[in-house]
Structure 1
Amino acid sequence: MQISRQASIDPMTATLHEVTFGPGCPDTACDALAARTGLSKSSIKQAMIKGAVWLCRSKSKPRRLRKATTILKAGDTLQLYYDPAILAVSPPIADCVRDLGHYTIWFKPAGLLTQGTRYGDHCSLARQVEQYFKMKRNVFLVHRIDREASGLVILAHNQPAAAKISGLLQKNRIEKEYAVWVRGDLTQSPSNGRIDLDLDGKTALTRFRFIRYDPEKDRTLVHAQIHTGRLHQIRRHFSHIGFPVMGDPRYGRGNHCPEGLQLVAFRIALDCPFGNGHIEAKINLKGFET
């Protein structure tokens, strides 16, 4: 016996298919979903490979199920978060900048998620790193940058490394520097290189220095560092003082940019918690030259 539920998530494309199985069910995961959703087995397999199928078993946390031949047990629930538009996306590819064994530093291009969603993880940095190392290293996210932004991200590969790097981040002992184009002539702002405005009821501090003003496009390049980790902190802070980040689709007006969000996490520096000395990674991107 099985109980099926289908819920529309987005009337345009997305659907949640959920099936709970009773005693005596001999189905493999792929066969079961194909029979109960009307989708082809090839579509189901692609959805599984791309991380859109979840297995809920007993008291365990839901986990992504990628193996099509998995035999189901009584009480198992399968969830398929099916969005053909998301599954059809070919994501940009990240680059490994430094490999320190316990952790790596990656360049995440704009348009790539740091972490997957219920609808899949093939468009995420975390999944690309797993595949880069052929599933021989675990991947622990210790910080993120926005999907629309590009730049350097540290990923840990074991729990001790994740704990050590997270501790450094909490103590502001990892330097993260961002290159940002903002609308307008920021050199005329009274902010004096410091934005100290609460966000979401919490203290938030952004420091920045002027690099150059482009009068032709009426925009200013700054290098910024955040001393707190609030949601979209840099983007919201510059928007609040009237100089929104160029290309930001959410914050500010008159800051459209055909090249997308002009925010790059271009530098990371830290004292390696595993005795490898001072580590610095830096990238230079066209259009953000000093």
Structure 2
Amino acid sequence: MKLQQTHSIDQTTAGQIACDFIAESSGVSKQKVKDAMSKGAVWLKRHNKPRRRLRRAKEVLQNRDKLELYYDETLLARKPEGAICLHDANSYSIWFKPAGVVAQGNDWCDHLSIQRIAEQTLEPKRTAFVVHRLDRETAGLILIAHSQGIAANISEQFQKRTVTKHYLCQALGETPATGEINTKLDGKAASTLYKRLSYDANSNTSWLDVEILTGRTHQIRRHLETIKHPVMGDPKYGRGNKNKQGLQLYAVKLAFTCPTTRELKTFELSNEFLQQHTSLTA
């Protein structure tokens, strides 16, 4: 069952309990509505305040509220699996994000996002802020901030390009030993550096260490496609690069300045870790 509803609350419906109102108007049981609310599928816009997810089932609706329901039974039934907190510094945390897990939720839910997983599993409980992103298909390291101040500090480091980001990827064909790709993406400057680690003639693929100096959407995947060496397993870009293992692109190294100690912090995933937790076969 999948449905989307928008309701404008007026004087005749104000005062009702949110869960009861949604259940009656949608035909979804109260138990399933509560579950959907807890997983971020209900949104509330009240007065001049920003639109937000409504998780409180007993919220009393007010006149002029705008209530939105994005109900996808299949999506809500999915369970987040494979995310691992590798380091908890209280003000920020470092996570391994598996392929298939998104950084942030969408209108339909957020329980499958690394942001919500962090909020629900870390102790003590705290707010999570996403300061950078990984494609849904990409597995690897992601940094989560736990206060607005820390998020602003780390976001500024990303904007100033002082954060080091390295990826391991398998590309089609034998690439040059090293290279730099500066093709603009979406009209914006984009810079990708790579070094070939190995080449396998049997599979006609190269393993690369890739560093990105900018953070454009699908940057590595799009840049490697422009030089005719697309990432293996990429469902969107390239030809002759499809496989059964999925996207062979992994965020393996992240280095930044700790906002509290001002020390350089470096986190790196080993091949052994990747082989245990991903589809990596190298």
Give the TM bin, normalised by the shorter chain.
over 0.9
Secondary structure (helix, strand or coil) at the match of 1:18 reads: strand
Question: Where do residues 24-35 of structure 1 align in structure 2 (5 Å cutoff)?
Answer: 24=12, 25-35=14-24
Count the aligned residue pairs: 275
Superposed displacement of residue 280, structure 1: 1.1
Aligned position for 2:190? 204
Task: Give a deviation string over 1:169-227, Cα, whole Å, max 9, x none.
Answer: 11221111000101111137xxx421111111111110011111122211100010111
- Which runs of structure 1 show a deviation greater than 3 angstroms over 4 or more consecutive aligned residues? 287-290
1:21 aligns with 2:4: no
Equivalent-residue separation in structure 2 for 1:71 and 1:278 (angstroms): 48
Query: Identity across aligned pairs (percent)?
Result: 42
How do residues 1-290 of structure 1 correspond to structure 2 at under 5 angstroms? 14-24=2-12, 25-133=14-122, 136-187=125-176, 192-275=178-261, 277-284=263-270, 285-286=274-275
Matches of 2:242 and 2:80, distance apart in 1: 23
Distance 1:153 1:216 in 2: 33
Q: Distance in 2 between matches of 1:211 and 1:249?
A: 24
Structure 1 portions without partners, runs of 5+ = 1-12
Q: Distance in 2 between matches of 1:21 and 1:166?
A: 38
What amino acid is the match of 1:210? R
With the length of structure 1 as denominator, give the TM-score of the two structures: 0.90
Distance 1:288 1:130 in 2: 28
Q: Over aligned residues, Cα RMSD in angstroms?
A: 1.7
Q: Compute the displacement of 1:163 (Å).
A: 1.3
Summarize the Cα distance change of 1:42–1:202 in structure 2 as closer, same or farther, 3 Å threshold: same
Distance 2:223 2:8 in 1: 47
TM-score (norm 2): 0.93
Cα distance between partner residues in 1 of 2:147 and 2:92 = 8
- Once residues 57 and 123 of structure 2 are traced to their aligned partners in structure 1, the CA distance between those partners, rounded to angstroms, is 19
Cα deviations by residue, 1:227-282 (Å, 9 ceiling, x for unpaired) = 11111000000011101001100000111121111000011112323216221111
For 2:259, the aligned partner's letter is: P
Partner Cα distance (2:37, 2:236) in 1: 32
Q: Which stretch of structure 1 is more off in the superposition, 226-235 or 126-135?
A: 126-135
Structure 2, gaps ≥5 residues long: none
Q: Give the counterpart letter for 1:236 in structure 2.
A: R
Q: Is the Cα contact below 8 Å between 1:91 and 1:111 reproduced in 2?
A: no
Shift of 1:72: 1.1
Deviates more, 1:266-275 or 1:105-114: 266-275
